Amino acid sequence: MNYLLALSVPMLWGSTYAAVSLFLQDMSPYWVAVWRALPAGFVLLMLRPKLPPLSWGRMSLLSFCNIAAFFVLLFIAAYRLPGSVAGTLGATMPLQLMLLQWIGEGKRPDPRSVLLAVVGLIGVGLLLNPSADLDPIGTLAALAGTALVAQSAIWMKRWPVNDALGFAAWQLVLGGIMLIPFAWFVAGAPVALSMDALPGLLWLVLLNTAFGYWAWVRSVKKLGPNVMSMLSLVNPVTAVMLGIGLVGESLGLLQWAGIGLILFALLLMKKPAAHARQETPQTDEQESHVLNEQNRKSVQAR
């Protein structure tokens, strides 16, 4: 059940491109980011009307990195790079995550995990067939945005949070609020929403973002950021398959080979997944038992 829910996250996020192409082409992408984050956060907040599960400082930091800054960098990359190049750079997340863990936590990357991440990255490169025209600003934006999501996943795993719903809600609300002045400055005042855009917005708000970010937060806590970073390789696969089914695109032999490499890497990540399960946060009862046992030993020592 945990892995099915985790797998739904990149599949839902991979549908973003199809939803935008079919319903939201006439809208400013910056305001699409606001309408994607803020209403989704309010929907989750209505389901769990509580104060943030972390301090305001930590929540603001996560909201800025995981939502506001990431969306801004995402659109900078989208405007300056071909979509295939941006997608391939985003697939560096497993490698970036391992590098951040090595630098910040002294956790040396497992060679097998590095190999699987490289195989998956090659698969994404074949699938999306990126051109050689790499704009330096767009490239840095794509890599920086991916690094922010990776670092946010590390924080989400490390910081003690049991309320995944409230955690996701406040990230989206705060991140959406941070995006408003940027969208207004870059794209001007928002325009009235058309009925043609409504299906795409409903999909983005309710399933793609509200459900997707809750499932992302829960899955990072349950399975660990390394497993989720590898599963993120399903995102471009979903985007391409939806392009075939909805937009009439077709795949060549190299692209099918890329899909095969991605699936091969995911099937072989059994050992990292088992390691991640061992790092699953303790339940409240387990934590209470550990604390009681430590207190008992402390009293005996005195």
Residues 96-152 have pLDDT tens digits of 888 898 888 888 888 888 888 888 888 888 877 766 567 788 888 888 988 999 999
Say if residue 171's pLDDT is above 90: yes
Both tokens of residue 212? 């997707």
Question: Would you state the pLDDT for residue 270?
Answer: 62
189-246 confidence digits (pLDDT tens): 988 888 888 998 999 999 999 999 999 999 988 888 888 888 888 888 887 777 776 6
Determine the structural domain holding residue 73 and report its residue range: 2-301
Nearest of 63, 60, 61, 59 to residue 71 by alpha carbon: 63
Do 270 and 113 form a contact (C-beta atoms < 8 A)? no
- Label residue 144 exposed, middle or buried (CB < 10 Å: 0-12, 13-18, 19+): middle
Question: Would you state the pLDDT for residue 227?
Answer: 87
Instruction: Pick 210 or 14 by higher pLDDT.
Output: 210
Say if residue 277's pLDDT is above 50: no
Look at the chain and report how many structural domains it folds into. Answer: 1
First-last CA distance in the chain: 46
Q: What is the pTM of this model?
A: 0.78
Nearest of 147, 10, 27, 151 to residue 77 by alpha carbon: 147
Question: Would you state the pLDDT for residue 78?
Answer: 72
Both tokens of residue 151? 């670092």
In residues, how long is the chain?
302
Both tokens of residue 60? 């603001």
Do 22 and 239 form a contact (C-beta atoms < 8 A)? no
- In sequence order, the 6+-apart residues with CB closer than 8 A to the CB of 235 are 10, 11, 13, 14, 87, 90
d(CA 5, CA 109): 26
Question: Would you state the pLDDT for residue 174?
Answer: 96
d(CA 224, CA 277): 7
Banded pLDDT at 37 (limits 50, 70, 90): very high
DSSP the chain: -HHHHHHHHHHHHHTHHHHHHHH-TTS-HHHHHHHHHHHHHHHHHHHS----SS-HHHHHHHHIIIIIHHHHHHHHHHHHS-HHHHHHHHTTHHHHHHHHHHHHH--PPPHHHHHHHHHHHHHHHHHH---S---HHHHHHHHHHHHHHHHHHHHHHHS----HHHHHHHHHHHHHHHHHHHHHHHH-SPPPPPGGGHHHHHIIIIIIIIIHHHHHHHHHHHH-HHHHHHHTTHHHHHHHHHHHHHS-----HHHHHHHHHHHHHHHTTHHHHHHHHHTPPPPHHHHHHHHHHHHHHHHHH-
42-94 confidence digits (pLDDT tens): 999 999 898 998 899 999 999 999 999 988 888 788 777 766 666 777 788 88
